[in-house]
Amino acid sequence: MGHLKQIEEGSKAYLRSYLIGLLPNLRPAQGALDLKSVSRILAVRSDARLGNILLLTPALRLIKEAFPSAKTDVLMPESYAEALEFNPCVSRVLISKQWPLTRFYSYDLAFDFSPYHAFSLSGAFWTAWSGAKRKTGYRRGDAGKFINDLVDIPREKFHETVNLARLVRHAAPEAALPSDENLRLEWHFGPGEKEEGEKNWRGQGLDQESAALFIGARDQKRLPVSWFLEIASLLRAQGRKTALLAGPAERRIIQDLSLPPGVVLLPEMPLRKFAATLLNARAVLTADTGPMHLCAALNIPTVEMFSRSEPWRYGYAHWPHHRVIETQGRWAEVGEVWPVLSGLLG
């Protein structure tokens, strides 16, 4: 059965590649963009990951500053659309299934904010379907079939916020925009959300000196629950309480364990309530996951563990109160992490 499925998927990929190959490359956009003439902008991000949506927020800020009178819509998967609620740089969030509607909004400019290292057919197609006069994105794969304002892939190693911001700088080269060093992830709270988060935090028996350990991660980034409980015991020895934040897989394991006093497994909660609750942590320890980027957006002191991905691209070692521990190809040891976390807490 598995072999037949591989053949089916391979055949679909070949057919898709063949059909795309039949399309002609678009004629490149001519001339510089008149910034004052741009009134509607579409930002496209097709992958459904929290971190990738938050990494986009600095670019959205640059769009707002480069085109202050324009309205910017964001087309993205529904799963993390609430991450952009109350964001003053966004006029409207459109979820993936609404992509056909973009054809009727008369966009002047559209950005394909898919990552530069891999061509995204859905991202490129949605950008092209918008009908925007100028469509900007990175030059990779079959992007030339859909994008008429292509940007070369950077040869140097830049943080992902810089890579995405580069598309905006390309579209508006004359605009006075903040430097790359000043790019910051953003999260905006609505009325009463912070207060609800603090109430939820204290309702779990936690205080302002409590730390949070995010024990969820994908695939090989996931450390054993016992590893985090060892960190929790060291926190307890300091007189600190610990909040455990877990995904569904880890939650099933923890529910069968007897947690020591002062260690609390936070219940599952909606994303915005989760963010408002996490805001109260004294510091957070996490692998390279979506909540790591959320901590950056919330400006929470954070220790970030990188064992499989690139910290130069996704980490925040250059930010105040953020520490990166890189152990490529293996999990970090408690003895490597504890001094860093303890120092950040102190």
d(CA 48, CA 66): 27
d(CA 116, CA 136): 12
Judge if 79 and 139 occupy the same domain: yes
pLDDT digits (tens, 9 = 90+) for 99-131: 999 999 999 999 999 988 888 999 999 999 999
- The average pLDDT across 133-148 equals 94
Residue in this structure with the two tokens 């450390």, named with its chain if needed = 223
Sequence-separated (6 or more) residues with CB below 8 Å from residue 133: 29, 107, 108, 109
Q: State residue 36's pLDDT score.
A: 87
Which of the four pLDDT bands, split at 50, 70 and 90, describes residue 8? very low
Q: State residue 132's pLDDT score.
A: 95
Judge if 163 and 72 occupy the same domain: yes
d(CA 171, CA 32): 8
Q: What is the mean pLDDT of the chain?
A: 90
Judge if 151 and 266 occupy the same domain: no
pTM, two decimal places: 0.91
Judge if 155 and 242 occupy the same domain: no
Domain hosting 142: range is 23-182
Sign of CA dihedral 273, 277, 278, 280: positive
Picking from 148, 182, 216, the residue at the C-terminal end of a domain is 182
Residue 42 identity: L
Q: State residue 220's pLDDT score.
A: 67
Residue in this structure with the two tokens 């779990």, named with its chain if needed = 204
pLDDT at 338 over 80: yes
- Count of domains forming the chain: 2
Q: Is residue 301 part of a domain?
A: yes
pLDDT digits (tens, 9 = 90+) for 10-41: 554 544 554 555 455 678 787 788 888 999 99
Better-predicted residue by pLDDT, 224 or 93: 93
pLDDT at 186 over 50: yes
pLDDT at 81 over 70: yes
Judge if 218 and 151 occupy the same domain: no
pLDDT digits (tens, 9 = 90+) for 253-310: 787 778 888 999 999 999 999 999 999 999 999 999 999 999 999 999 999 999 988 9
Q: State residue 224's pLDDT score.
A: 84
Largest CA-CA distance found in the chain, in angstroms, rounded: 66
